[in-house]
Chain A
Amino acid sequence: MMPMPVLEEKRRAALARALGQTLQKRAQAVAEMPEWEAMRQRAHDIRAGAMDRLFEHLDAFERAAAANGIRVHHAATAEDACQCVIQIARRLGVTRAVKSKSMVTEEIHLNHAMEAAGIRPIETDLGEFIAQLKGDPPFHLTAPVVHLTRDEVGKVLAVKLGVPFTNDPAKLTMIAREVLRREFLDARLGISGANFLVAETGSIVLVTNEGNGRMVTTLPNPQGPRVNVAITGIEKVVPTLRDAAHLLRMLARSSAGARLTAYTTFIQGPRARSSGEEPSGPDEVHVVLVDNGRRGMLRDARLREALFCIRCGACSNICPVYHRAGGHAYQSVYNGPIGAVWSAALWDTEQAAALPFASSLCGACADVCPVKIDIHHAMLWQRNLATLRGRVPAWQRWAWRLWRMGMERAALYRAGSRLARVLLPQVVLNRLARPWTSKRDLPPLAAKTFHELWKEEA
């Protein structure tokens, strides 16, 4: 497996504080709902129903969206999705685009593809904006720079924007507001994700606390034409508006402890409808439905539940491994418990296959999940898959084989543990366990084995 770089001690304490605060707000929002368990079950059933007949719901969504003038595109792969966006940008003749937060665009590496095509993507969610300036991938599903201190954010803005240093979160936010407001007024292409797609009405549902999602989908530029592209996974579809309303409640409470996100928008088409000219809004609305491995997840009965995820981030907030290792340690766009499952399901690499092993299988993630995904059992299944598919590195297979031999033969075990004391002094152990031991020592082997001590006592 690839070694996971761990988080420094001081950063770990700050992260634990931030995640703990979010969890506490969530607990309050949940306590307000005595029927929370029934609400979780209903959310689970809605998502299960949506996935059972996914392609029917997608067809219905497409028909309804098309009737409202939304153009629907299908992307089988990440590359198809990126090309689709780039073609829209080229046809529009723009060299920059404003973006609201979207994990799917991270998944398909859209920013990289756009830059390569000469189109500058500007992240407008405050956390993503800071991460983009710093050149970091997002650290958390809903809080991209939760690992940075205010001083570090201040330094990033001072260096990258040439503004005087401040570490005051209010001042830093106003600096970002000013810079990004200019971008909003200038942009003609807005790229967003989607939290849900509603099959019965063809609605693209987008939630945003900051309002950047509304800016990107409204495009306040007085000069047209303005185009909004929503990029999202095929699994985001739900059958009805009522279903969406229920899931929006679960999402707001579970992610931030709020009753509803500040702005919840149902986008149903371009402006200038038959009922009369609308003064604002995009002239075209596109939606790109990304597969990129999701059909494979749908086919595996033990992984399809992962598709229920509404990206609230609560499983990361509660996970003991995430608390200690942090989001970047996963070295994947999707991190935390559900991110480990998604990564291993979407990408058939040794690196991704290693992530489900980075779990204590304590099940806190499954307990907190608002749509009741059995996350840790999915990870257990993926460990099986990794072994069956030979995604476990050779040295590990040999190590386990050796361990098994010892465990099956008492004499061999005794000889082995005595031999290890000679061959593996602490300095050698430390070397074997690099880079984990770059910041700490492995405990040395005890001078005598348990069996030796037992004999002496007797």
Chain B
Amino acid sequence: MSELRRQFEERLGQLGVPVVLPAELEAMLTGKVFVSEHAVCKPWAARATCADPREADVTVTGCDALVAETGSVALLSAPVETRLSTLMAPLNVVVGGERQLVADMELVFEQFAGRLRPGAAAACLTFVTGPSRTTDIEKTLIFGVHGPKKLVFVFAEDGG
């Protein structure tokens, strides 16, 4: 396992995000399942039972980069659904490839400089770092206040 991957997985562990094997994912795809059109999500396309991420119980989505320093998943808005598919459902599964790993946020900016250039920019770049959470009531940590209560990560088998 590469050092970047080791650090990334360690960070996910600290954020309460399990890293599961593709085979283990099967059991999690219950209820209304939305699967995004990312190429890495193809293996689960047949499991989709819901076309609208607003109504889904589970969303499966790809991503554009993985940040080892913070355990973040980066998504650029695209014709493929990336915003609602990582925001609306109680359970969000992100599929990423080891090849997408970078050390820090600055390297994501370098890699996608062309899609951040004024006049040609993607509408939105989001770094997702763990599930939705709040500590507003007596500093008690509660997950899923608006977005996913649980985030799960899967390494694509072909390396993404």
Contacts and interface: CB of A to CB of B under 8 A. Distances in A.
A95 interface: no
B83 A126 contact: no
Contact of A210 (B88, B118, B124, B145): B145
A277 B123 CA distance: 11
Nearest to B144: A177
B136 A143 contact: yes
Contact of B140 (A169, A177, A181, A270): A169
Nearest to A267: B124
B71 interface: yes
B136 A130 contact: yes
Contacts of A267: 123-124
Contact of A68 (B87, B119, B130): B119
Interface in B108-155: 109, 116-140, 142, 144-148
A265 B147 CA distance: 14
B83 A181 contact: no
B132 A268 contact: no
Contacts of A277: 79
Nearest to B80: A279
B100 interface: no
B81 interface: yes
Contact of B136 (A63, A145, A220): A145
A202 B146 contact: no
B49 interface: no
A210 B83 contact: no
Contact of B139 (A130, A146, A275, A279): A146
Contacts of A217: 124
Contacts of B145: 126, 173, 176-177, 210-212
Given A245-B104, A276-B78, A260 B72 contact: yes
A210 B104 contact: no
A242 B140 CA distance: 33
Max count, chain B CB within 10 A of own CB: residue among A209, A264, A277:
A209
A214 interface: yes
Nearest to B72: A260
B147 A259 contact: no
Interface string A154-191: 00000000000000011011101100110011000000
Contact of B87 (A14, A143, A172, A218): A218
B61 interface: no
B59 interface: no
Interface residues of A, number: 75
A185 B131 CA distance: 20
A426 B67 CA distance: 65
Contacts of B136: 125-127, 130, 143-146
A76 B77 CA distance: 33
Interface string A393-405: 0000000000000
B146 A124 contact: yes
B25 interface: no
Nearest to A174: B144
A241 B112 CA distance: 12
Contacts of B137: 126, 130, 145, 148, 150, 153, 169, 172-173
B47 interface: no
A67 interface: yes
B123 A67 contact: no
A268 B140 contact: no
B84 A220 contact: yes
A64 interface: yes
Contacts of B70: 259-260
A146 B140 CA distance: 11
A170 B136 CA distance: 11
A220 B54 contact: yes
Contacts of B105: 245, 248, 260
B128 A263 contact: yes
Contacts of A273: 121-123
A35 B130 CA distance: 25
A281 B124 contact: yes
Interface of A: 14, 17-18, 21-22, 63-65, 67-68, 124-127, 130, 143-146, 148-150, 153, 169-170, 172-174, 176-177, 180-181, 184-185, 201-203, 209-212, 214-215, 217-218, 220, 222, 241-242, 245, 248, 256, 258-271, 273-281
Counting from the closest, the 3 A-B pairs by CB-CB distance are A211-B147, A127-B136, A64-B118
Given A270-B123, A276-B79, 5 more contacts: A68-B121, A177-B145, A209-B133, A218-B83, A222-B54
21 contacts: A63-B118, A67-B118, A126-B145, A130-B136, A143-B139, A153-B137, A173-B145, A202-B118, A214-B126, A214-B146, A214-B147, A258-B129, A259-B11, A259-B70, A261-B129, A263-B132, A264-B72, A268-B121, A276-B79, A280-B77, A281-B77
